[in-house]
Amino acid sequence: MHVTIVYISVKPEHVAAFQEASRHNHEHSVREPGNVRFDILQSENDPTQFVFYEAYRSRQDAAAHKETEHYRVWRDTVANWMAEPRKGIAYQGLYPAVSIDV
């Protein structure tokens, strides 16, 4: 399993719009072939801080996500709403084990 954890800091005046744009991205991402999870988290202590937990069966499935229309629309829509560039860190998912053949 290929997991990316993305850290995002949003300008305070754009938090509500960012949430809505991200909801749309989430709703489409969870339907992608190879998607295992696509969680969007917001800090309880600082509502401008978000974490995306993106799990795909393979690195290729994760790369395909970046080619989807909904991702490109989200990326372009939220670009100027971020307080700083987003930071994605890739991980190899160990457990739960996900079979690529499933």
- Domain residue extents for the chain: 2-91
pLDDT > 90 fraction of the chain, expressed in percent and rounded: 90
DSSP assignment of the chain equals -EEEEEEEEB-GGGHHHHHHHHHHHHHHHTTSTTEEEEEEEE-SS-TTEEEEEEEESSHHHHHHHTTSHHHHHHHHHHGGGBSS--EEEEEE--SS---TT-
Q: Is 101's pLDDT higher than 60?
A: no
Res 102: pLDDT: 45
CATH of domain 2-91: 3.30.70.100
pLDDT > 70 fraction of the chain, expressed in percent and rounded: 95
Mean pLDDT of 75-102: 88
- The predicted model scores a pTM of 0.91
